[in-house]
Amino acid sequence: MLDVESPQAMHARRAAEHAPKPQETFGNGAARIALITALMAPTGETVRERDIRDGASLAVDELGGGQLSLLVENTDGSPQQVKDAAKRLADQKVALVAVSAADVPVSTLRDGLGSARTPLLMLRGNGAERLTGTFAFVSDRIDSAVEGASYAAAAGRKRLVVLLPGDVSTGDRQRLERGLAGYGIKPVLLAVTGSTAFSGDAASKAKLRDIDAVLLVGAGDPDVGALSQLKANGYLKPSAMIVGSSGWVAAAYKRPELSGSYLCLFGPENGSRMTSRYLSRYERAAAADAAYGFDVIALAAGLVRTQGENAISQESIRSPNGFVGAAAAFRFEPNGTVRRTCAIYQLTGGNLKLLDPAPRSF
């Protein structure tokens, strides 16, 4: 009698095969790369942590070329366990440590690493804490908004209004302003939705005439309401470009007020080699977090392949040429922030339509 495995049994078996252990090693190359996760958290593994670890594991096979080893420390996410993991990795003389465990202070990791100048890739945004030798690795809605605004400026839009949601921190607002200034963009107005009324008075009409682009960082009711006010009072040119951000939730794509908007999004492109291999191995689609995990290894593999197994350092990571991975091209600024190229999409019929793929270089 033929023993046929049920779908439920198959999924259970595959889940067990990929279940995290406290320490894991992928590959056997001489250059050692490390990842500290919070996959053993008391509340259970999160999709984000799992995606990062699985993306990195896949990249060792796809890009490692037998030159890399990935040492994974799966912790409960507590400062003590993360610090202990960093100590073990320092003893093993790893060349690079990536950290997906959230909220643990960078100083705790540095204490664990001791005197080693090991570069730290923190899978956190550009607004997070950084010390010397520490690099942000996640691009957020502020980065997306800045790159989207630069796309509008390159398309000839000169009069931009920026609408910020009420939950944007002072630090993120300043980061947005610096990013826009870096592209030579000076908004006509930068306002917080929900606290700014766009009335039809003479002063507003004089200031807000002929607006040809709106940067809408959020897509909640106050944000869409502010956009509707601008339209209703005749401040927008008929051809005005609405630019969103990666902070928009998918449900917002269906809002008729946002139809035709442009979004600059980070992450893997569907149909790429990485996404197809990831789907085949893990039986789920590769999201942005999987691409970030993959790109940790892409960075290391690029340096080792071109400069040798001892090439990874704080200095080499700052190469102005940057790196190419699943989430397109990325590079680091001198202050440790990350900059990524992104793909331009337009909302059409409630769905994303790819207009321009992310550039593969800067």
Whole-number pLDDT of residue 13? 59
Measured torsion, CA atoms of residues 286, 287, 292, 295, in degrees rounded to the nearest 10: 30
Instruction: Write out the E strands in the chain.
Output: 23-26, 31-37, 68-74, 96-99, 120-122, 134-136, 160-164, 189-192, 211-216, 236-243, 262-265, 323-325, 328-332, 338-340, 343-348, 351-356
Question: Is the same domain home to 84 and 28?
Answer: yes
**What average pLDDT does the segment 61-88 reach?**
97
For residue 4, is pLDDT > 80? no
Of 136, 70, 90, 158, the C-alpha closest to 292 is 136
**What average pLDDT does the segment 245-258 reach?**
97
Locate tokens 């550039």: which residue? Answer: 359
For residue 11, is pLDDT > 60? no
Is 345 within the bounds of a domain? no
Question: Is the same domain home to 191 and 261?
Answer: yes
Question: Is the same domain home to 185 and 244?
Answer: yes
Whole-number pLDDT of residue 339? 96
Confidence grade of residue 311 (pLDDT, cut at 50, 70, 90): very high
Distance CA(275)–CA(316), nearest Å, equals 28
Report which of residues 271 and 171 the model is more confident about. Answer: 171
Q: Which residues are registered as beta bridge partners of 343?
A: 265
Is 350 within the bounds of a domain? no
**What average pLDDT does the segment 251-273 reach?**
94
Whole-number pLDDT of residue 46? 93
Confidence grade of residue 124 (pLDDT, cut at 50, 70, 90): very high
Whole-number pLDDT of residue 194? 86
Whole-number pLDDT of residue 199? 73
Confidence grade of residue 195 (pLDDT, cut at 50, 70, 90): confident
Question: Is the same domain home to 12 and 125?
Answer: yes
Is 218 within the bounds of a domain? yes
Residue 69 φ then ψ, to 5°: -125, 140
Q: Which domain holds residue 221?
A: 141-265
Tokens of 64: 């490692």
Confidence grade of residue 10 (pLDDT, cut at 50, 70, 90): low
Whole-number pLDDT of residue 129? 87
Question: Is the same domain home to 209 and 251?
Answer: yes
For residue 183, is pLDDT > 90? yes
Question: pLDDT tens digits for 16-73?
Answer: 566 779 999 999 999 999 999 999 999 988 999 999 999 999 999 999 999 999 999 9
Confidence grade of residue 283 (pLDDT, cut at 50, 70, 90): very high
Confidence grade of residue 7 (pLDDT, cut at 50, 70, 90): low
Question: Is the same domain home to 15 and 129?
Answer: yes
Question: Is the same domain home to 36 and 119?
Answer: yes
Question: Is the same domain home to 38 and 107?
Answer: yes
Q: Are 52 and 36 in contact (CB under 8 A)?
A: no
For residue 306, is pLDDT > 60? yes
**What average pLDDT does the segment 272-279 reach?**
94
Whole-number pLDDT of residue 20? 78
Is 2 within the bounds of a domain? no
Whole-number pLDDT of residue 118? 96
Q: Which one-letter amino acid corresponds to residue 149?
A: A
Is 56 within the bounds of a domain? yes
CATH of the domain at 182: 3.40.50.2300
Q: Tell me what the pLDDT averaged over the chain comes to.
A: 93
Confidence grade of residue 123 (pLDDT, cut at 50, 70, 90): very high
Q: Choose the final residue of a domain: 235, 265, 295.
A: 265
Please tell me whether residue 277 adopts helix, strand or coil conformation: helix
Q: Are 33 and 98 in contact (CB under 8 A)?
A: yes
For residue 9, is pLDDT > 80? no
Number of domains in the chain: 2
The two beta strands, 120-122 and 189-192, are unpaired
Kindly list the distances between the CA atom of residue 10 and the CA atoms of 13, 21, 47, 58, 209, in Å, as whole numbers in the listed order: 5, 20, 20, 21, 62
Distance CA(101)–CA(125), nearest Å, equals 13
